[in-house]
Amino acid sequence: MTRTILVTGGAGYIGSHTSVLLLQRGFDIVIADDLSNSSLRAVETIEVLGDRRVAFEEVDLTDQAAVAGVFDRHPIEGVIHFAGVKAVGESVQEPLRYYRTNLTSAMNLLDEMAAHEVWDLVFSSSATVYGDPEMLPIDESAPTRPTNPYGRTKLMIEDICRDVARADRRWRINLLRYFNPIGAHSSGDLGEDPRGIPNNLVPFVMQVAVGRRQQVEVFGNDWDTPDGTGVRDYIHVLDLAEGHLAALDHLETGCDELNLGTGHGASVFEVIKTTENVSGKAIPFEVVDRRAGDIACSLAEVSKANRRLDWRADRNLEVMLSDAWRWQSKHPEGYGD
């Protein structure tokens, strides 16, 4: 029998890529999304690429009755929870909105899952729970001390999940701590479409390459890294999406934390250079002051996920950036809404 999976935030960047793979793997999916930072066009594209229909529910997860309705209408057997607000800077400006949205949504979802006897959950956490790491690479036992409200919502939801799984042994939860997801679907028709000015490096670089912005601001070249610019563990969004399917296949009683990254780092300058190579466009940049709250380097220890999920991220930086460029050059204005 086909399993039905609820994908919250399924119209968003990582959720949409994961949804395509779920359809291709034969799952039925229900996407619950409030479209506050995503587009219905992504849902249409998911159906084209996945070659199947999706049940779409436009709901705000902070409304518990609305969440209950989704479970009443569909035979849901597992949940992948992506939905949430996720901009670091905004979370510092509007902490209450971040706590209310992310925590209330998670609690409503867990409540309704239990009420409907659904115990399988994969949660979208973040490497941001580690804050400024003491040691590299970062393994799952490293101290967690996020440096902003957004990161704290991720850690608090992790804590809630650990507590519910301790209280009731029917829960099977995997908490996935993503490093830096970039890239796009290889068709070039699904990708990241940030509203307003992109906060993150790769969407910004892509908008410069396509001519929507003048130049990249490099936030510091005096970091303690080989070329002085920040180093991150970038992971292809399709490798990450495959990690979610593996996480769903490898749920165990209780609650477990898993890093999803590649274990390899790339600097800001390497990202700019590689984008110039794959796009054939010049990327003008200017070095400016460090951004508040940034760290020099973030790198995942990935052996736990490799072993437990029988999964590995193997697309390299060139593939990540050429796929991001295919999406950006085919859809210069993103989904166009």
Give the binding-site size for ligand UFG (rule: CB under 6 A): 20
Q: In the window 83-122, what residues touch ligand UFG (CB under 6 A)?
A: 86, 88
Nearer residue to ligand UFG within complex by CB, 76 or 88: 88
**N- to C-terminal Cα distance for the chain?**
37
Residue from 294, 304, 308, 335 touching ligand UFG (CB under 6 A): that is 294
How is 187-241 classified by DSSP, letter by letter?
TSSS----SSS--SHHHHHHHHHTTSSS-EEEE-S-SSSTTSS-EE-EEEHHHHH
Dist. CA 168–CA 145, nearest whole Å: 27
Q: Name the segment binding ligand UFG (CB under 6 A); options: 5-13, 17-25, 125-133, 300-308.
A: 125-133
CB 125 within 8 A of CB 153: no
285-288 vs 78-81, strand pairing mode: unpaired
Which of 74, 86 has the CB closer to ligand UFG?
Answer: 86
The residue within the footprint of ligand UFG, chosen from 14, 127, 266, 320 (CB under 6 A), is 127
Please pick, among 13, 98, 130, 150, the residue that the annotation labels catalytic. Answer: 150
Pairwise CA distance, residues 145 & 134, whole Å: 11
Instruction: Tell me the C-alpha distance between 133 and 317, whole Å.
Output: 23
Site string for ligand UFG, 198-217 (x = CB under 6 A): -xxx--x-----------xx
Report if residue 6 touches ligand UFG, rule: CB under 6 A: no
Q: Which is nearer to ligand UFG, 8 or 180 (CB)?
A: 180
CB of 165 or CB of 266, closer to ligand UFG: 266
Closest CA to 277 of 222, 224, 317, 247: 317
> If you search the block for the tokens 């709250």, which residue do you land on?
293
150 is catalytic: yes
Cα 157 from Cα 180, distance rounded (Å): 20
- Please state the closest distance from residue 86 (CB atom) to ligand UFG, in A: 6
Residues making contact with ligand UFG (CB under 6 A): 86, 88, 126-128, 151, 180, 199-201, 204, 216-219, 230, 232, 268, 291, 294
Q: Which residues are marked as active site?
A: 150
